[in-house]
Structure 1
Amino acid sequence: MADSGSKIGEDDEVPGRVKEHLCQPCLSKDKQTVADKFCSTCNEFQCNDCSNVHNVLAILKSHKLVSVNEADVASFSVKMKALDLCDQHQHSFEFFCEDEKKLCCSKCAIVNHRKCHSVVEIEKIAGNITSPISTLGETLKEAKEAAESVARHIRSSKDQLAQDIKEIHDKIRRMRDEVMEMFADLEESVNKRAETLQKETLQNLTMKQTQNEKHLADVTSCLETIESIFKNGTPVQKYIAEQKMESNVNALCRNIKEECQNLETVNISFQFDETIKMPPLPVTEYVPGQLELNFQHQGDVNFVNMMMKLTPVSSIDLKKTEDDIDELFYTGIDFLPDGRLVAVDNTNKKCLVYNEKLEKVGSYQLSYKPFSVVVVSEEEVAITRGYDIEFLHVSKCNEITSSRKCIVKTKYDSICLKDDKQFVVGTYDEPKPVRIVSLTGKEHDFSVNFPNKTYPIDTSDCTYIKSSDKVVITDRYEHTVCIYDIKTDTRVVVKDDQIQEPRGAAVGPSDTILVCSMKTNSIVQISKTCQILSSYKIDMEYPCIVCVSRDKSFLVVTNSYPGNKKLQKFKISC
């Protein structure tokens, strides 16, 4: 509530001091007028001109007007902080519209709620509050404790970060004693990279800390207001405060809950290669280790909202027909924007189109064995075939024609879109496991220190998370999923008993990663913070390729089990 002797917002508490009161309606118009009357119903000081409206409007004639000297201002001792004032008219709330669930001043009741069926006086219903304002106070106390926990965690993360950096320094210095010349250069190189990571991570933590401090201050302020109103306020004031503050309290709690769910423990470590190349090889050509930045979510974090559910929609058996030379084997699938599915059959050299019911509606004979396929636009797809990428036009009428080819210098297997001009492609029998290729065939590498490992055909797959600039690589026989952060040149290796012979990968809802685990006949869902969320058993053996629709609402998977190949479609829900 505004001070009766000052402008609104200057002082929200008037403990009954003797002074000249100003007209509150006039103050809302930036006009200072000495008050002559006090309306106990409006809970306002008013001048003669403003108080005369009580004699004009029938709805206000029941209000109690007294002179300023006779006014009882005890109710002004509660810090309402203008909670009892209408934002639009700066008049005190007197009514509650049960139809629209809104607090109303006298002007609101007349102008905005004339057609409503139930507009009641707050005084008549304030005593029947079913959820007292103290509940908001308890909620805010819990939120405050959570915010303080976030603050403690951030401080601890900063200390741990500094400790990790110190341990890296110590580790490098111990090794330098054994191979002084090589590790003198190594220390400078690694420390520079570590300090860059530390600076970037500290900036992120400081930003989170600033946001948390703001939430903590907001919660503390709201809590002080509620405790004051609950302790000293009238039933009307308590009711108004509850109606007015509930949405703000809920928003604060959601923000703090989100902060709690996104807490991460940051660790920096330096792991050396198993076989260290010795001097005189300069460190500029070979760094005997890799700096890794690892994030781990705290325990008891609720991942329920990120976990998806799969509901079967349709399933077909991939049977050989008269047009097929051998058993069908789909090595690439992807959704067209309109919901149709495009697939490539490696053994029979075909590109096929399926409708939303998984009914085959189009087919095109290729001259080579295709490896993978990706949808480029509404009516164009790209197919990998080793040193070539062929582009096909797929019309709305399911007619398929070849449009152009790109000759490349690297053997490519899996393929996905990086942006509207480039692909991310997985290689085989090549020193670089992943490369970038433009739609015109221009090739270049990621600025990432990939392990020096060559993947044979059918042992790895890749996908790309555009929003976070991360590359995902599956390693079938190492039973791992490696997630590379391009921005920080760091990686996280996900290894778990639920991941056995991982092959195909795709980006799912909330940028989670979906991986085919062939040996467990499952689709494994990995969070964007590299935690395994769940594993979904699929009714097929050796699932190997998976794709997700553009709106993340459908998933299709196929397998590589001889004699029993399938194509299955699922509805995704959270």
Structure 2
Amino acid sequence: MASGSSSFYKGSDLIHDYSCFTCEENDLNTEAQHFCPKCEHYLCDKCVKIHGDYFKKHVVYGRRDMQKWAGFSMDRCAQHGKELEVHCDDNQELCCSVCVAFNHRLCSSISHLRDLARGFLNTAEFKQLPAAVDKMRSRLDELKNERMKDQTSLNDSHKNIISEIKDLRKEINQILDKLEKRTVEQLDSMMEDLEKSIKDDLEACAHMHDKLGIMIAKLKKSASKNKESSSYIGFRKCESKLSEANCLVQEIKEKERMKFKSDENVLPFLRNLNSLGNVDNVYVYKAQSSSLYKVHMYKCNIEGICELPSGEVVIAERNNDRLMLLNRQFEVIGHCHLPLPPRHMCHTKGSEVAVAVTGIDASTISTMHAIHFHALTKGKLQSVRKFTIDFQCISIAHHLEKLYLCSFNALYLYTMNGNIIQKLYEDNSSYRTMHNCAVSPDGERIYVTNQIHSKFITLDTSGQVLSTVEDPDLKYPSGLCVSPSGHVFVCGETSNTVVQVVPEGRKKLVIVAREVDGLCSPHSVWFSEQTSTLIIGNLSNNSITVVKLC
């Protein structure tokens, strides 16, 4: 934008960046030096004085405040202040005469606004605009309110994280205090032993000193009386005692003195730390919309849900012993019969899923428990391999070619070939203390739901409990899932909720979906990061609930 008296000649006309509105009305070409937003008029030095006499309360901006000139008039160019006259079809821009002269001389298609506007008031496009603006303004108000809530939540999160940091510091201090106490106890014990050793040495020295004095006195006495035999005997005994004293002196001199050597790993480890931990930006999801999709003619129990990399969704349905294949529109496009009812399912790799099945084997008329692997091949789910286990598996999870299998009371780690590695965790406090399990993307945390006690438990890789969450919004927790980015979602079967939990598993983050979103005893859940949607299987229901998140 030009300033001061900027202008240029076109033919015989002088074109200003801003022209005085009043002078233009009188067919005069004068550059504007002032702007009145109330009148939406650009004024020269002469006209601004007349304007001031008539409108004393109007605020007028001079050239020093030119950033305030633009944007006040709908019909005027925001850049040059002149009347908008044409539309550049090449650049899709509204233009004044200065715009055309400066920026659009080479454009091939210029349309007059009067021609474009003829009959425009009666078009549907124009009539729908106010509603669209109102809708957007309402959405902006909602967004503003949400961000205000987020601001409050952010302050709360900041306080909570500060509290967590201080708690961590206290725990570190407690650990250091214990280490110091143990080290001092070792020092005190060594001090006691060394004090006793010094006391014993002092007594031994004193005793040897006196013994040598007595022996040498007796030897001198025998020698003074020329008693050769007695003197010889005394000499040999004194010589022996002298050798004994020499050994005592050497022994005392060689005794190790007390000293302290710090653990060489402690200080370098602490010095290499940049902080006490990382503060991550955790996405908090909210339900935006929800829909129900019918997947069966009759009520059924959907035990497991997972999405394949290609976008298809696989559902394990117990009542009819089968896997169902859904397309991206959640339409059933295929199914695969299972020899036994499925209890749970997880994605392993590529287009493969692992299904935990249990029931009566018709061929042997005996109970059988097994893990079946199926893969999507040429648009169909086909059996790949299987292995049997000796307990009823009610949940299965996969991470780095390892399988995590849950019984009603224990969690086991297996190889993909069916060999047990170890029992990770067990809780025999009551019947059915475990229902579902999942693993964090880095494999450092294992999440478990305990329905009978309404607990969400987080374990480390050795099976030690890191944290336990009990929340009124998470009653009778059942299904859970962890996304590739680490977002954790848990079903509250009797609270009719799906709750997002912090990745560390320490606390509930937010209720993502509720009964109003179509939940009815949510039993299984999957979060699709491709589409930001939750896919929820309700207990004894023939539909899945799909919740779009934002």
User: What TM-score does the superposition give when structure 2 sets the normalisation length?
Assistant: 0.48
TM-score, L = length of structure 1? 0.46
